[in-house]
Amino acid sequence: MKRLLCLLLLLSLAVWGAGCGKQAESSVQPSESAPSTETPPAAPTAASTAAPTEAPAEAEDLLAWGGKTISGFGRNWAERIFSSVEAAGTDEEDADCASFAFDFAEMKDRPGLSLNGSIYLGKDASVLFDIPEEAELDPLAEGFLAEQVKALLPEAKEETLTLGKTVWNVRTVCQNEAEKGFVVYDLIAWSEEGGVLAYVNAAAVLNGSDIGEDAAGTLRDLAGEWFSSLEIR
């Protein structure tokens, strides 16, 4: 049952998816009979008049399982740049897995831009893929995940990236259907260490009639910024 909760949360993504101010002068005038002893106010400097800089977004813990914790950009980061922020996760320590699903939609500077996906921690990939009981497939076998992801993203670019102390197997592909009004950039990544599998599935999507030639690069940068924030400890 608890394993089913993880699967239901991951599947829920299908429902979510598609000027300067002038300093006032003093009204008090110095007496003519005696020199003023007041110290004139210092002229404002560039540092004192500049607008305060917003602190950079910080990573937050997203989920934990099997002695491992994944942190990265979550609500605090998303609420700065998206108008709609949805996120949910499982936290049962004795379950077979843990998962975190998110849907960040309607970027404030570009309303047609969104980012959604999920993160999974578990003992193997049996929850992630529908494996028939009669099939002789071992979710722990070397190459199993790579073959499953290849079936999902057959034209994906394959690479290995190291973020912090974690080595990720990464697959990315961009589906450019600008003439149909959308562009999708898919990213799938996984890492296995100490008997725990971390699996990431994210999609950056741009919808609308004014997509522009920079769409693929914009989506790649957005997905890359979020993914690069992830850390396993």
In tens, the pLDDT along 85-143 reads: 999 988 665 678 899 999 999 999 888 899 999 999 998 888 888 877 667 778 877 78
Whole-model pTM?
0.75
Q: How far apart are CA 78 and CA 61, in angstroms?
A: 14
Lowest pLDDT segment from 37-46, 74-83, 112-121, 142-151: 37-46
pLDDT of residue 4: 39
Q: How far apart are CA 88 and CA 98, in angstroms?
A: 11
Residue 112 · residue 206 · CB < 8 Å: yes
pLDDT at 50 over 50: no
Residue 23 · residue 42 · CB < 8 Å: no
Measure Cα distances from 73 to 69, 78, 196, 220 in Å: 13, 7, 21, 16
pLDDT at 58 over 90: no
Residue 83 · residue 106 · CB < 8 Å: yes
pLDDT in tens, 4-28: 334 434 444 333 333 333 333 333 3
pLDDT of residue 209: 65
pLDDT of residue 111: 85
pLDDT at 187 over 70: yes
Q: How far is CA 90 from the centre of its chain?
A: 18
Residue 220: strand, helix, or coil: helix
Confidence band, pLDDT 50/70/90 cuts, at residue 189: very high
Report which of 4, 173, 203, 197 is spatially closest to residue 102, judged by C-alpha positions.
203
C-alpha torsion 201→207→210→212, nearest 10: 20
Please state the rounded mean pLDDT for residues 37-62: 58
Confidence band, pLDDT 50/70/90 cuts, at residue 167: very high
- Residue showing tokens 């073959």: 147
Q: Which residue has the higher pLDDT, 46 or 64?
A: 64
Residue 183 · residue 177 · CB < 8 Å: yes
